[in-house]
Chain A
């Protein structure tokens, strides 16, 4: 694997972990009591940590796909919670600060790094591992 590939993989792991930490913090500090949202937050955080660890260890490509889908799904959920509501839950703007902005930036970076990794492999060496 190239240096760029390793750096991208580390980037995906770090941004996933940051998003997971934000969600875990909010879960512990009150969100656990919000119906459905609490459960969603703990699932998001724990799956983020698991994927971050395995992506960092050099797991197969589907782990990076899963990471990108998780980050993308979190962004969609964020957008819904700021517009039509999500499971009857709605928030405004970048509240709670700074966790909202931190997690959105981290998730955008996760998706961006995954896309870069994908493009890099399409036009670089083919991944010999089963994807």
Chain B
């Protein structure tokens, strides 16, 4: 330590400015190089278009009325327009549950009618707990259950990808629950598949413990995931939590999607997950849809979050 205060001469200032300029210049150049390498790698992957492109939409809560969003129908229409204007027709659209708010026949009819406006060959759904409030999902299955098995679960193969839609909103206690019958279905469903088959799993409630205190998890997900661990690429997409969140556990990546209706608080932010009322003009920044694409040879799916703004 010296007692003399540091003072900087003009020469020192120029020298430090040069070092700073070099740092900024090198950082920008380095960023450009990395970005170029990533772009080249991406370009090599996508010589043609991705093998599979789809959109996720979730938690439309048709029938909800409250300050958090007085016009959920308008927001859902906006989400449908967003998907129809992606610049390509997605191979399918998945709605990951809570299509309706109170599972009335009118609400199911309305959401089904609205989704006929989606420009895509296929619309798939899984039920949320709001879609089965009083009848263990019977009205949901009447509207959307064609071709499903058990209480509404199913699987399909598209573009070399195995897609599994699970129902974890029936027999709820606190957490989501799949049940023995569905776990048995899952085990048999994936048994014949080679381990390099990309797997995509849809469910309403997260299959990972996002925040169990609020029921944001599935009590028997560990067993379900044990059947999927041998696959090199497993992507689980869910709704329910009304916010974007992701988590990786080994070869399994979980992505929670946002909502088209109203935001919920971040995990643990407050006593309970009640609808959050945002300042005027901010709502559509918190709502959105998700684009997902899969390119052959890649383990990770590419996701793009789109707001409704």
Contact = CB atoms under 8 A, between A and B. Distances in A.
Interface of A: 20, 24, 27-30, 32-35, 42-43, 45-47, 49-51, 53-54, 59-60, 62-63, 66, 85, 88-92, 95-96, 122, 126, 130-131
Contact of B246 (A34, A122, A126): A34
Looking at B16, B24, B42, which has the most chain A CB atoms within 10 Å of its CB? B16
23 contacts: A27-B38, A28-B34, A29-B41, A30-B299, A32-B38, A33-B304, A35-B244, A42-B34, A46-B30, A46-B34, A47-B27, A47-B30, A49-B27, A50-B24, A50-B25, A50-B26, A59-B23, A63-B23, A88-B243, A89-B246, A91-B247, A95-B248, A96-B248
B247 A28 contact: no
A33 B248 contact: no
Contacts of A47: 23, 27, 30
B146 interface: no
Contacts of A30: 298-300
Nearest to B35: A42
Size class of the B contact interface (CB-based, 8 Å): 35 or more
Interface string B19-43: 1001111111111001101100110
Nearest to B8: A130
Contacts of A90: 245-248
Contacts of B305: 35
Contacts of B8: 130
A51 B303 contact: no
A93 B206 CA distance: 19
